[in-house]
Structure 1
């Protein structure tokens, strides 16, 4: 019996409707789910508690990450502001310490530019622009003297606000830089502007010098979202920062979002006052909380594997437990039915023995009287119908002998003998069984053909058990064939150790879905007419003898039973209750 068959809803209705001791499907469900609740409920409870603790720890770690980002933004913002204020102050000091005429001197301006580069670094060029917007003197790698900036926006802004810091741009220099311009005002002279170009490498170095955790990034962007310093995550200077757009402008604070791969990001933004720059810090919580994720994943894997193992054990245990209960109940019910069947057969046997005894007495008298009449006629010379009377007496004697053979066979089947192994010629044994079934075959015009090789060696077995085997199979064959049908029996030597018996009938056949069940107890295709024990007992007897039995059938074409029996009996011949029951059944 398969494990799954035990819990199929149609199992009892189709196969074992006679076994209604317990609702085994419900028992299996109750056992299975009770075991699951008892074993898995504490596990899931502990897993939920651990998950809650992990989540809390995760949130604490994320809060710590946020605090670190806030400290990083504050520190970096101060350094960037200090960097820019330092250079603005230097330019303002140059304006205050020098007059326009002094700065118009190229030597003086070159000297100032040289001191600025040595003291602060990052200065690329330095130019003096008069009130008309024309560059009077210029120190740097390009020839920009006489260049007019009057109509440019930055010049208008510096003349209004007094100071100007530009976005990073390439310009005709073709490298990233930005401009700091400072206006000088004096009551004695018109305003002029001191303009310096700053290399962004100093800003890049300043960003990289910060303590950035693994997976993080720190850089500057302008209000339009263009990178003002290079970024490890988003590319080089003047690349568009993807998290800033017209729909999502730059705002101060720390917020969570997702990157292009849908992973969470912590983004911190701090505006650098007085400049077009915004400081941006990026952290990937997944990278920073990697060890917590690994621990959580390991715990989930362990819980999953534990649950799977428990489910398998519970499933196996429930099937085994309920299966054993079912098998025990099935064996008990089978034994009860076999005992009931045995008692019926014993009663029939006793009845047959009584009938045979009652028949034998008058038959014996008839036989004696016919013999006396034959003797009298043999010594009488004057009887005119002597020959006719003698012939009729022989007919009566033949009938008496036939009745004696029939009653002898009945007594042979009814006699309860101990199990013993003896030499049996299978062809003769089958003929004896057919002697009991021959009248039914004759009435129904069923042709029974017995093909037995005269050289088939005898086997050592119990005669009563073999009679039961062939009687059960031939009874099924007679029930399967219609009137005028045919049954073919063949006995032959299979090999040196076994003998093969083939019983074929051209009846209606057995459906394919029933073939695998015909040897099971209580399975019958005869409805209320069958007990479902005949072939089951037959199978058990053949197995105990060390033989084998197979069946082949096609619907509408017929059925063939093939039995292989060993020539030597290998079974234990000790009489026990089960063997007696099997023999009697």
Structure 2
């Protein structure tokens, strides 16, 4: 039915929409795959093991696919060519056997028919009617050609008037027999396998002759079918190949190894008759796959069949194909293993490179923060130093005036004022020391290095914190061997480092005032160990406090980062890290929530000449 204009427009719109929808879907899938690849291949801000596992799997799959796909394509093409060649190789022996058997049987049967025809035309009816002549001719024939069984002379009335052979067949009436009628019409006749009066399968070769005097007669010779099988066997069929003859009705003319004895019915359909040899694949009633080469014999109603079971023929080739398949599977497995190992090494190196990159960026960010806090410290120190200088000068002037007696007052007040002024000067000196350190940090000033015993510095530091630890119910322990070597370092800065670390350890054990045990029933302690190893001094501070999470550990050395809420400035560990690095050492923290922390410091016995950047 024709469409109207509106209907055609609607159909066109639907078709266009369908195409656009398909294009959009394909574009969306492509964009999704592209984004997935881009996500896996982008440089990460943080190192994620799951990402690298996914990337390794993807790269392994891609490498295996790129390596195996050509191999599979080549294998598929080779398999197709192999099967074609295999089919030709399987058909070739059967085809050749059928051709050779056809030639041999045509020669054999043609020779027998020609010989009988020659005898019929070499002798007259009267000659062969003589029993001695007939017997002499048959014996000569049998001595020259094997397979002949007997010979008979049949007159025009169909009576066998002469016979030579092992049977009593003289006088047998063949009048009206089909073979006799065909012989009289065609002049020559080759029968199918029959039992006849002899009781075993045989062929009949008959030649009809009409003499000049009008005498009509037929020479009849029987030949054994076993001789035909012997002729076929001389061609050399393989042990698993069956060669036999059948007639147009499908009746076996010779014995068959697969289908039975002569004169039995062939249990399958005959191939189309053709004088040319044709090879076909046929399935018999038992379900066997057979390769059948067929051809007809010239001048006969026989069809030659050469049959070979496909399973037997293809077994050696299948064994070879199985071996090739195993080689292919082994090659694919080897490609997969090598690809997996290579990708694992490559991705591990990529992950290590990304980890180093992230660490470098973190160090750069940390250094930037240090630089910022250094500039801030320099400004604060500069601004604080000015009023401190004024306070110090004014306090000194007041003390000078008191000592000169220019200020009135009794002796006790004077002494008290002097003591207060000395306290002011001492406090100012302490404040100036702090600002000096701030300026030293900001300007990378050289530390005041001197030879010292680190165990003395640790003991002095613990003395400052002993009362605080006792009030908090924490036991301070120190394992300080007496024979530790001297180190060259800054005493004041080392004291500040140990004060910060031990102070943080006491804070981690806070909340247990009045109790000397942790919630797990363990004794609260802060333990300091010190030992010399490989030209370095190793100091560790261990506590069994609440510990730190991995998130806290990542930020522990950052300025203004604190877990003490309003009680801390977040500069303690930051300054500690800067001092240790400036003294040429290293500091590391190990911690587990609920089990405590251990801070390890490594200091050189002799610091490097070049200042270490922090």
- TM, length-normalised to structure 2: 0.52
Instruction: Give the corresponding residue for 1:340.
Output: 369
Q: Deviations over 1:312-350 (max 9, x none)?
A: 889977986897588557635632441232321442355
- Confirm or deny: 8 A CA contact 2:553 2:589 kept in the other structure: no
Instruction: Give the corresponding residue for 2:539.
Output: 501
Using the alignment, how far apart are the partners of 1:372 and 1:188 within structure 2?
A: 182
Using the alignment, how far apart are the partners of 1:314 and 1:125 within structure 2?
A: 84
User: Of 177, 182, 205, which aligns to 2:234?
Assistant: 205
What SS is found at the alignment partner of 1:238? Answer: coil
Structure 2 CA distance for partners of 1:193 and 1:108, relative to 1, 3 Å: closer
Structure 2 CA distance for partners of 1:159 and 1:506, relative to 1, 3 Å: farther
Instruction: Give the corresponding residue for 1:196.
Output: 224
Structure having the higher Rg:
2
- Confirm or deny: 8 A CA contact 1:353 1:411 kept in the other structure: no
Structure 2 CA distance for partners of 1:423 and 1:76, relative to 1, 3 Å: farther
Instruction: Give the corresponding residue for 2:108.
Output: 83
Is the aligned partner of 1:274 residue 2:301?
Answer: yes
What SS is found at the alignment partner of 1:198? Answer: helix
User: Of 597, 601, 605, which aligns to 1:559?
Assistant: 597
The 5-angstrom pairing of residues 390-405 of structure 1 reads 405=430
- The more displaced of 538-547 and 400-409 is 538-547
Instruction: Give the corresponding residue for 1:153.
Output: none
Instruction: Give the corresponding residue for 1:238.
Output: 257
Instruction: Give the corresponding residue for 1:3.
Output: none
Q: Report deviation, 1:508.
A: 3.2
Structure 2 CA distance for partners of 1:488 and 1:318, relative to 1, 3 Å: closer
Using the alignment, how far apart are the partners of 1:266 and 1:531 within structure 2?
A: 92
Structure 2 CA distance for partners of 1:146 and 1:63, relative to 1, 3 Å: closer
The 5-angstrom pairing of residues 206-355 of structure 1 reads 206-208=235-237, 219-221=242-244, 238-239=257-258, 250=271, 253-255=278-280, 268-272=293-297, 274-275=301-302, 277-280=304-307, 327=356, 331=360, 334-348=363-377, 350-352=379-381, 354-355=383-384
- Confirm or deny: 8 A CA contact 2:242 2:308 kept in the other structure: yes
What SS is found at the alignment partner of 2:594? Answer: coil
Q: Deviations over 1:157-208 (max 9, x none)?
A: 97897644549xxxx99xxxx7433457799789976242434343122145
- Confirm or deny: 8 A CA contact 2:583 2:603 kept in the other structure: no
Structure 2 CA distance for partners of 1:351 and 1:559, relative to 1, 3 Å: same
Q: Report deviation, 1:457.
A: 1.5
Q: Report deviation, 1:451.
A: 0.9
Q: Report deviation, 1:278.
A: 0.9
What SS is found at the alignment partner of 1:83? Answer: helix
**Ranges in structure 1 where 5+ consecutive residues have no aligned partner:** 1-5, 17-23, 140-144, 151-155, 230-236, 259-263
Using the alignment, how far apart are the partners of 2:164 and 2:399 within structure 1?
A: 166
The 5-angstrom pairing of residues 539-558 of structure 1 reads 551=590, 553-558=591-596
Instruction: Give the corresponding residue for 1:417.
Output: 445
- Confirm or deny: 8 A CA contact 2:481 2:530 kept in the other structure: no
- Confirm or deny: 8 A CA contact 1:451 1:490 kept in the other structure: yes
Structure 2 CA distance for partners of 1:13 and 1:330, relative to 1, 3 Å: closer
Using the alignment, how far apart are the partners of 2:393 and 2:231 within structure 1?
A: 137
Instruction: Give the corresponding residue for 1:492.
Output: 530
Is the aligned partner of 1:112 residue 2:150?
Answer: no
Using the alignment, how far apart are the partners of 2:129 and 2:493 within structure 1?
A: 132
- Confirm or deny: 8 A CA contact 1:356 1:410 kept in the other structure: yes
- Confirm or deny: 8 A CA contact 2:481 2:531 kept in the other structure: no
Q: Deviations over 1:347-395 (max 9, x none)?
A: 235525754774576478669979998999xxx9x98xx6x99899979
Instruction: Give the corresponding residue for 1:453.
Output: 480
Is the aligned partner of 1:180 residue 2:203?
Answer: yes
Instruction: Give the corresponding residue for 1:426.
Output: 454
Structure 2 CA distance for partners of 1:44 and 1:452, relative to 1, 3 Å: closer
Using the alignment, how far apart are the partners of 1:305 and 1:360 within structure 2?
A: 80
Q: Report deviation, 1:531.
A: 10
Q: Report deviation, 1:76.
A: 4.6
- Confirm or deny: 8 A CA contact 1:477 1:487 kept in the other structure: no
Instruction: Give the corresponding residue for 1:142.
Output: none
Using the alignment, how far apart are the partners of 2:282 and 2:500 within structure 1?
A: 81
**Ranges in structure 2 where 5+ consecutive residues have no aligned partner:** 1-37, 183-188, 210-214, 261-265, 284-288, 513-517, 519-523
